[in-house]
Amino acid sequence: MNLFDITGNPFIDAGIYVLLNLTKKNDLKDLNKSDLKNSSETLVKILSDDSWRGSLTQILPNSKIANFSIKDRRGAYSKFLENLINDCSAPTPTKSCWGCNNRKGSFSSSRAEFPLTGSLKMVNFYPNWDNGIKICGSCLFSVQFATLVMSRCVDELVLLHSDSDLVMKAWTEEVMKSIRLQLSNNSFQGINYFGYKNGTNFIFYIASRIINEYDENWSEENPFIRLYFFTNFLQSPKVKFIDIPHPIFRFLAYIKQAGLNGEWQKFVHGKTKRFSRDKDKAPDEIIKIRPNPIYQRLIQEKTILYYFLDRKNHKNNVSWQLFQLYAEVVLKLKIETLEYIKNIGNLIVELMKKKESKKLLFQIEKCRNSEQLRKILIKLEKESLIYFNEPLFKVDDVATYLFPESEPYGWKEARDFLLFSIYEHGFKFFKQFVDEIKDEIIDEDEDEKEEW
């Protein structure tokens, strides 16, 4: 029987995956008490180093390893871990553990041993006025190891959690590579720090590292991924979290599969907010500290179509392949919808050639509501009959593809789909008409950007 169970608690689960990584075991059933003893010695060696001193006072305040009034901190913490190991067991008949609910809660624990669980003196914080949470040795032992995969973001501690075994193993390995190097050099750096001061950008960095560095079928994994940001102070502890929506993770996975990662990173970095003092910084450094509207909108499950278009120069900022991936995976558009809209865009371009004018394009670009778009389409239909002697649209197709009630997009997306397909013909094509209507060239509409 297993000594540990995956519980859904981020601290317990993170610690379990660190134990698996340290012992080079792949399955919980393979962990034994000899593994725990060896791992505890490694943990004591790492956390007793002075480089961890500041972080431990927040992660495990006043614990045996963080209480610097104790002369032999290493010995005291080793004894504490030994007691936990002795209590580690397979599931027991008494199931009172606050963490796994599968074993007896033999220990009363507070924020000193288990982050964000309150102070022993504040008994009203705990169920039934208990003096701390009741937790088994297995769960409390694993929590101690979660410290090794925590990182720092400004003044907050950060911890990743996922329901995916593959994600947890991949990120644990990514972090533990540095820890193992420090162990081999006998030189420690304290808590992990990746340089990020923006939490949203940080979770995308983590997702990208997992997808790009670990060879798994990520597009089929569909994991829940959450990044916790917390403090564990006695006064005003706080916790918040950021989730990556399932479609966004799959989108990033498909980007790798399609070989579009370079294009995607260039596009994203180009939209990061910059200040004058950032002029000497590399894009990889700027994205660690500045907000990025693409990542912000993806996290909020808002469309980023607006940023795919360069209206001022009548061109696209990304390739059709990347656009199609986003439309299919994130917006859940059907392939036939995309093909229909692309064909309509091509016909509109042919119409502009016939008229030797791109006023039609500007009318679509300036469209600001569904009524305007419908009027433009009616005008296009009339001109198609004049120049091609055939209709541009079929009534059923307009209802099915451009203004569908069942699809997860509205008139703005339909307009931008059309613009993207038209812009595919390139800036050189539109440049030939610039002199004719140069006074109508418009900049990006800031009001609309805010509305998006």
CA-to-CA distance for 136 and 155, rounded, in angstroms? 31
CA distances from 356 to 153, 348, 363, 419 (A): 56, 12, 15, 18
SS3 content of the chain, % helix, strand, coil (to 5): 55, 5, 35
Output the pLDDT for position 392.
Answer: 81
Burial status of residue 341 (CB atoms within 10 A of its CB: 0-12, 13-18, 19 or more): buried
Q: What is the pLDDT of residue 126?
A: 57
Q: How far, in Å, CA of 377 to CA of 6, rounded?
A: 56
CA–CA separation, 437 and 265 (whole Å):
35
CA distances from 347 to 340, 353, 392, 421 (A): 11, 10, 8, 10
Sequence-distant (6+) residues with CB within 8 A of 268 are 287, 292, 294, 295
* Own/partner pairs, 117-123, CB within 8 angstroms, 24+ separation: 119/234
SS3 385: helix
pLDDT score of 179:
96
Cα(240)–Cα(227) distance, integer angstroms: 8
Q: Give per-residue pLDDT as tens, 388-419.
A: 888 887 777 777 777 776 666 788 888 999 99
Amino acid 387: pLDDT = 87
Judge contact between 61 and 234, C-beta under 8 A.
yes
Neighbours of 69 (CB within 10 A): 6
Based on its alpha-carbon atoms, the radius of gyration of the chain, rounded to whole angstroms, reads 28
Both tokens assigned to 318: 């990304």
**Would you give the distance in Å from CA 245 to the centre of its chain?**
8
60 neighbors 112 (Cβ within 8 angstroms): yes
Question: Can you tell me whether residue 383 is helix, strand or coil?
Answer: helix
DSSP strand E in 252-328: where? 309-310, 315-316
Alpha-carbon distance of 176 to 235, in angstroms, equals 31
pLDDT of 106 reads: 94
- For position 403, what pLDDT does the model report? 76
With b for 16 or more beta-carbon neighbours within 10 A and e for fewer, the 218-247 pattern comes to bbebebebebbbbbbeeeebeeeebebeeb
- Write out residues in the chain with pLDDT < 50, as ranges: 435, 437-447, 450-452
3-state SS, 17-54, equals: HHHHHHHCCCCHHHCCHHHHHHHHHHHHHHHCCHHHHH
Q: DSSP secondary structure string, 337-379? A: HHHHHHHHHHHHHHHHHHHT--HHHHHHHT--SHHHHHHHHHH
CB 90 within 8 A of CB 226: no
Q: What is the pLDDT of residue 249?
A: 97
* 96 close to 132: Cβ distance less than 8 angstroms: no
| Residue 298 C-alpha from the chain's centroid | 9
Asked whether 205 and 147 are in contact (CB, 8 A), the reply is no
Contact between 370 and 411 (Cβ < 8 Å): yes
Letter string b/e over residues 284-303, b meaning 16 or more CB atoms within 10 A of that residue's CB: eebbbbbebbbbebbbeeeb
Task: Compute the Cα dihedral for 47, 49, 51, 55 and give only its sign.
Answer: positive
Q: Give me the sign of the Cα torsion angle 311, 314, 318, 323.
A: positive
| Alpha-carbon distance values, 343 to 347, 350, 398, 431 (Å) | 6, 11, 13, 22
